[in-house]
Structure 1
Amino acid sequence: MYTQLAENLAPLFTPWKVGKCEIKNRIVMTSMGGTNLLGWMERNHFDKEAAKFILDVARHDVGLILPGCQPIYNPMFGQWLYKNDKMYRDLAAWLPEFHATGAKLFVQLTAGFGRAFTISETMEKLYTNRVLRFLAKPVMDLERITAAPSPLPNRWSDKVPSREMTVAEIKEIVEAFALSAYKLQQAGVDGVEIHAVHEGYLLDQFALSYTNQRTDEYGGSFENRYRFAVEIVQAIKARCGADFPVSLRYSVLSKTKGMRQGALPGEEYTEVGRDMAESERAAKYLQEAGYDMLNCDNGTYDAWYWAHPPIYMPENCNLADVEHIKQFVDIPVVAAGRTTPRAAASSIAAGKLDGAGFARPFLADRAWVTKMIAGKEADIRPCILCHSACFNMAHYKGVPNDQDLYDSLHLSRCAVDAETMQSRKYYIEKTLSPKRVAIIGGGIGGMEAARVLHLRGHKPIIYEKSSELGGVFISGSAESYKGKLRELLTWYRRQMEVLNIEVHLNSPVDSIDKFLAADMPVIIATGSSPIALSRVPGWENTIEACDFLRSDYAETKDQRVAVIGGGLTGCEIAYELALKGAQPVIIEMKSDLIAQRGVCLANSSYLREWFALQKVPVYLDTTLQKVEADRVICRGANGEKLEIPCDKVVSSVGYRSAPLAPAGKQVYQIGDCRQVGNVRTVVWDAYAAAMKI
């Protein structure tokens, strides 16, 4: 079966056991919100879209699959998970098809979110208005949903604090875990996973001393803080039997300095959560309580970049800590968190690890394991760790979770694959009328449109004004830490070759009339143009962000570089400058860095905290007034004049759409030329336009 498998990957494809459950290989798809088999933030039901996604992953050589976490008590409508019998019958009817793949399924169950529940502006209004709070209770009882071990501030909002849970509520949840696990067992599920003494969710808030100030049997001592998690596994084992596997999602270290304060890689800090000494004891204690596996990473919602690593985090960022904790238990241990297959395989071969956990790579390419086995890694569409479709909960000064309701209810979609968890909206339908289609612009959007058009049976032709495909993405992937983005660019260029797409480089198009005269549909993918603050004296002496990204950073070593604009692009440039030995200064007119929708808190908080740790000067509420030869003149937050010395000035103040022509009957504008966005909007736009032709 594995004839083409590289030798250094072979340890991943050996069988192992969790309890008495044998699993065919060591690849584990870890749980992601949105891939929930029994619904997510809506009435509990057997979710056909999630089932389709999970089945597709199972058919591509994955050993163990964990769907998205299922709240025991649903935040929406207040349902108990164990009460919908039809849902379990539907699950039971589907499971034979799943098990025919040879994969195993553990359903992840969660006690809830406590202070980590993502509060939106609408929720703030519901909570702060007593009448609305009362009227909303049947749909969303925020006081119950956000309840925690002790009165605590919410991670996202100062307006919706958490109250202390009662002992009766705890006992009710423990019983609900047992009843739900039993229903899942009866349906034919292979095991369950408890979420979690992990990531600062409710059970972890009980376990951690900085969030648990209780004085009853669920607070104070080590045993009391972990009692909730212990009672859950004991109740499940009592109901389902000792042989029914129960995994635990587990954060080895909290990596947390305090409320809303994470600890960055390599930072010296005082741990307020679970340090290694406590973790060594806790892992053994939880094994003795009855847990059959530890599915591990690090972090809390206060240090969210450990559990949801952005591209700035190092690969295998949690692996060493997970390998360490394995020494203290006899049950299988899985590591997740930017894990690379080869590093995991090496660790498994050395006996330092039992399973390798992967999540978002499956969103980008459900078949990546099969392709890896076949030695076709060049065909794997990479996850770029952007979080812009799967987890785009944005947070910055003055706002709670700034996220569209549609995004909040539909997680685990993918910026680079429109079909992921959206198969009814984006799908390949063969055309009955093949056409030649002109695509003006060979960036990511143009290439995605060409790919989909070809798969549908059309004949796309790309006209690119420059000498290479990629457009602005070439600049956007230039920083040293953006290897995954460069992999995506390479993948798209390869697709153009594999699919034999006709491409004309060095072919600027000034008018689309000739295409329309030939009765050809036209897709405009000409992107955007940078905004120029031409009224600012000296602006012509600034270097535009994309131009700067393609320049030689070595020239900036030890130089002081002023970055005008503290959005994501400006902050990533400043980050790269600092990594390369320059001295960046960020000047932003808003009251916070990366104050924009669509950028996940895991990503933005990393950059904000990194700049603070490295003492990178940041001027907020500051407006550029003038650019001089050796300085910029600004107006500060209080109206004061600021003179900031610098050797170079980089402009990153945003972009405007730059369409070649207006949209028409046969003209389709996509991506940034229609509306400036991000990789997600470009890829999805391109796919949607290609479906229409």
Structure 2
Amino acid sequence: MNPKYEPLFTPWKIGNVEIKNRIVLCPMGGTSLFGWMEPNHFDKEAAKFFLERARNNVGLIIPGIAPIKDTIGGRWLWQNKKMFRELKEFMEEIHKTGAKLFVQITAGMGRSWAITDSLVEIHNSPVLRTLAKPIIDVQYQSASPSVLPSRWSDKVTCREMTAAEIHEIIDAFAKTAALCKEAGVDGVEVHAVHEGYLLDQFTLKYTNHRTDQFGGSFENRYRFATAIVKKIKAACGNDYPVSLRYSVVSKTKDFCVGAMPGEEYTEIGRDMEESEKAAKYLQDAGYDMLNADNGTYDAWYWAHPPQYMPQNCNLEDVAHIKKFVDIPVVCAGRMESDVGAQAIADGRIDAVGVARQFLADGEWITKLIEDRMEDIRPCICCHNACFNMTHYKGIANGQPFYDASHIARCALNPPTMQTDKYKIERARTPKKVAVIGGGIGGMEAAIVCAKRGHTVDLYEKTDHLGGVFIAAAAPSFKEKDKMLIAWYEREIKKYPITLHLNTEVNGIETLQADEVFVATGAKAKKLPVAGAEYAMDAVEYLLGEKEVGENVTIVGGGLTGCEIAYDLYQQGKKPTIVEMKNDLIAVKGVCLANSSYLRDFFTTNHVSVHLETKLSEIHPDGVTVTDKAGKSFKIEADSVILSVGYDPAPAAAEGKHVHVIGDAKVVGNLRTVIWNAWDVAMRI
């Protein structure tokens, strides 16, 4: 192991519980040991997930949130004794690995509950609410400290939680924690004075307008959180560790508006001055650790940082707050192993919190120890499968129900939390497989087929692998995407895959293969507009094939168009976005944490955006557009980039032994490409 990582592998203590190293597997929604969008039970898939990571050298595991009261059915966790007996058996297996595990329990989401359009209808209809209540009590799930607007829907107003409900939750925490202790769980984590969830909403002035003992003064706003830890300690003893998921600073400017890194702004949530006081107050109430980062659902990109956010984005704030407490402090948020190790060595934090990297590669700690950093499949912060809750104008949460009930999967690693669906099994009859196209889909199909025992030939018409993802990875902030391409290039060499670069396939009959995968991707759409010859497409810009001037108009928002505008701004240029829809990123599958960063960035930095505006004509010096009122006007531009989507471009048609996959079949994202490659490669 490289000596710079050694501080990560020193023991430390939370209360009287010793942890073997300083790497914490942070909680992720969907990885609860008690299930997720379903009645509580011992979740064997989550248990399998954590046991594999425990065997791969993680120090402390904190599974995802377990609602203290079921979302579906409304049963309290403490009422399911059988579940805790199964948990006890699981804890015995965890402890054999030397890892420790805390169970995270949530009081609820309040206004941050990611309500879908169908649930909006139920919420607002007394008849539907009554009919649905035995299954899902929407007004209970979204109940908040005060009457508040939902984060997700401007059609929903969240009711105020009653004092009786608060006390019932406090009691339930103690009962559940006692059962966890009895089951051999090493500690519990209270979720959360963090990220604008329910307990956090109670602490924040902009969301707590109560006049009873749970509102008003500093002590009253933090009473719910402190009462929980005191009740747990009374039930379990003072030596039973209780961690708190904690946001140091809210980074929030207004409802649904976050603060950019480095921005000077007026904080409406918890500022650093209050946080210094709050951290000490929470410690004195009985909490034994702060599992910390920043943000709220109004500034969600601090707690769920996309690639646009800086590496180690929360470290300075978390390190600062450690000065005001005597208990251990963990820092999460795009943490780099070497930076985290140095921060630990310097006494600035006690441990490094890592979450989604464990989805992308469950063996990453082992690989770090063995000096195999290049073998680690990087998390690219896309949230396409792990947390793809999508919100845009007119849509509360466009996440499909399957995804809502199956979050914490991984776009890059299909077997994550889906081991029954995605698995490598040796083929009964090894075959000769040809893959046409060396993009991500083609490489993934080739690797899966090779792992199953097939002989694989991979054909790529250019002199390099990566396909259109090379263009996607081109911007300076896409360092993880570049790492992913390099990872694939190394992985290909580990298996019996014969690589044919600079080889264009003209007719699949020439391949003499038993099975053929067509992974030739998609091509940019062309707009039937006058002056189209004066524009370039997105790929031409991203690959540097055409230069752009100072003032650049991007026709088409969406994720690609917005990322191009962001890249141009970072270069010091002046981008303008023209988008036909009523929202910049009205695209399903793009997490709100990612899309809200871009929206907030453009607003904060005064990037010109024209919504509900249609391109009419392109000129050598700009574009003519028409707005929703029918008014035409010209936007001056040195360069015009078209980012209006793609059409599938299969090099051959589907057939009995010919399989069109990825964007060549249906244009999607990295998740659809990789999962589709597995779907087909597992069948042949």
Common fold by TM > 0.5: yes
Q: Which amino acid aligns with 1:465?
A: K
Aligned to 1:579: 570
Instruction: Identify the residue that residue 652 of structure 1 maps to in structure 2.
Output: 643
For residues 82-133 of structure 1, give each alpha carbon's deviation from its aligned partner in whole angstroms, at most 9, with x where no partner exists: 1111111111122211111100000001000000000101101112222111
Q: Which digits, 9 at most, give the CA deviation of each residue in 1:544-596, with x for residues without a partner?
A: 1011101078x546x11110100100000010001001111100000010110
- Percent identical pairs in the alignment equals 58
Q: Which amino acid aligns with 2:486?
A: T
Aligned partner of 1:639 in structure 2 is 630
Q: Given the alignment, which residue of 68, 72, 75 partners 2:64?
A: 68
Q: CA deviation at 1:141?
A: 0.7
Helix, strand or coil at the partner of 1:193:
strand
Match of 1:378 in 2: 374
The answer as to 2:542 corresponding to 1:549 is: yes
* CA deviation after TM superposition for structure 1 residue 499, in Å: 2.1
1:316 to 300, 312, 315: 312
Partner of 1:509: 505
C-alpha deviation, 1:540, in angstroms:
2.1
> Is 2:522 the partner of 1:528?
yes
1:147-180 deviation per Cα after TM superposition (whole angstroms, max 9, x unaligned): 1110000000122211111110000000000000
Which whole-Å CA distance do the structure 2 matches of 1:98 and 1:90 have between them?
13
Return the match for 1:218 from 210, 214, 226.
214
What's 1:670 paired with? 661
Cα distance per residue 1:472-518 (max 9 Å; x no partner): 01101000000000000000000112224211011111221233xx3
2:293 corresponds to 1:263: no
Find the counterpart in structure 2 of residue 43 from structure 1: 39
Match of 1:395 in 2: 391
Which of 594, 617, 622 aligns to 1:626? It is 617
After superposition, the C-alpha distances for 1:603-644 in whole angstroms (9 at most, x for unaligned) are 000001101111111010011010011010111121100100
Once residues 519 and 157 of structure 1 are traced to their aligned partners in structure 2, the CA distance between those partners, rounded to angstroms, is 52
Structure 2 residue identity aligned to 1:685: N
Q: Aligned equivalents of 2:124 and 2:244: distance in 1?
A: 36
CA distance in 1, matches of 2:629, 2:474: 36
CA–CA distance in structure 2, aligned partners of residues 640 and 187 of structure 1? 68
Contact 1:529 1:655 in 2 (8 A): yes
What one-letter code is carried by the residue in structure 1 that aligns with 2:15? G
Alignment of 1:184 onto 2:184: no
**1:306-343 residue CA offsets vs partner (Å, 9 max, x unmatched):** 00000000000000000000000000000000011111
For 1:646 and 1:313, the matched residues in 2 are separated by: 28
Q: Please say if residues 442 and 469 of structure 1, whose CA atoms lie closer than 8 Å, have aligned partners that are also in contact.
A: yes
Please point out which of 101, 108, 113 is paired with 2:109.
113
CA distance in 2, matches of 1:176, 1:129: 30
1:329-478 counterparts in 2 under 5 A?
329-478=325-474
2:563 counterpart SS class: helix
Choose the corresponding residue for 1:682, options 650, 661, 673: 673
> Does structure 2 conserve the Cα–Cα contact (< 8 Å) formed by 1:556 and 1:582?
no
Deviations 1:230-267 (A, max 9, x none): 00000000000111100000000000011111111011
Instruction: Provide the secondary structure at the position in 2 that maps to 1:590.
Output: coil
The number of residues matched between the two structures is 684
The answer to whether the Cα contact below 8 Å between 2:390 and 2:588 also exists between their aligned partners in 1 is yes
Identify the residue that residue 590 of structure 2 maps to in structure 1.
599
Residue-by-residue CA offset, 1:525-551 (whole Å, 9 max, x unaligned): 011111101x20011221110111010
Residue number among 234, 238, 248 corresponding to 2:234 in the alignment: 238
Match of 1:292 among 265, 288, 291: 288
Q: 1:565 aligns with which of 556, 569, 577?
A: 556
The residue identity in structure 2 corresponding to 1:168 is A
Cα distance in 2 for partners of 1:546, 1:421 equals 34
Q: Distance in 2 between matches of 1:185 and 1:585?
A: 57
Please give the alpha-carbon distance, in whole angstroms, between the structure 2 residues aligned to 1:66 and 1:307: 16
Per-residue displacement from partner, 1:403-456 (whole Å, max 9, x unpaired)? 110000000000110111111001000112111100000000110011111111
| Contact residue 451 and residue 496 of structure 1 kept, 8 A | yes
Question: What root-mean-square deviation, in Å, do the aligned CA atoms of Structure 1 and Structure 2 show?
Answer: 0.9
Distance between the aligned counterparts of 2:663 and 2:584, measured in 1? Answer: 22
Question: Following TM superposition, by how much is the alpha carbon of 1:76 offset from its aligned partner in structure 2, in angstroms?
Answer: 1.4
Equivalent position amino acid for 1:70 in 2: A
- Give deviations 1:624-665, integer Å, cap 9, x for gaps: 010011010111121100100001110100001111222122
- For the 8 Å contact 2:19–2:59, the answer to whether it is kept is yes
Contact 2:45 2:419 in 1 (8 A): yes
Q: Secondary structure at the match of 1:8?
A: helix
What does residue range 93-132 of structure 1 map to in structure 2 within 5 Å? Answer: 93-132=89-128
- Deviation (angstroms), 1:519: 5.1
2:440·2:467 contact (CA, 8 Å) conserved in 1?
Answer: yes
For residues 199-221 of structure 1, what are the alpha-carbon distances to aligned partners after superposition, in whole Å with 9 as ceiling and x for unaligned?
A: 00000000001100001100000
CA contact (8 A) 2:215 2:221 kept: yes
Distance in 1, matches of 2:449 and 2:496, equals 12
Determine helix, strand or coil for the equivalent of 1:618: strand
1:20-31 map, 5 Å: 20-31=16-27
Structure 2 residue matching 1:249: 3-state secondary structure: strand
Mapped to 1, the partners of 2:72 and 2:306 lie a distance apart of: 29
- Kept in 1, the 8 Å contact 2:434–2:513? The answer is no
Q: Distance in 2 between matches of 1:108 and 1:519?
A: 51
Answer yes or no: is the 8 Å Cα contact 2:39–2:71 preserved in 1. no
Unaligned runs of 5+ in 1: none
Q: Which SS does the other structure have where 1:692 is aligned?
A: coil
Tell me, in whole angstroms, the C-alpha distance in 2 between the residues paired with 1:647 and 1:351: 51
Q: Which runs of 5+ in 2 are unaligned?
A: none
Given that 2:102 and 2:186 are in contact with CA atoms closer than 8 Å, whether structure 1 keeps it comes out as: yes
Question: Distance in 2 between the 1:102 and 1:160 partners?
Answer: 47
Amino acid at match of 2:517: I
SS of corresponding position for 1:498: coil
Residue 73 of structure 1 deviates from its aligned partner by 1.1
Contact 1:556-1:577 within 8 A present in 2 as well:
no
- 1:88 aligned to 2:79? no
CA contact (8 A) 1:657 1:675 kept: yes
AA paired with 1:269? Y
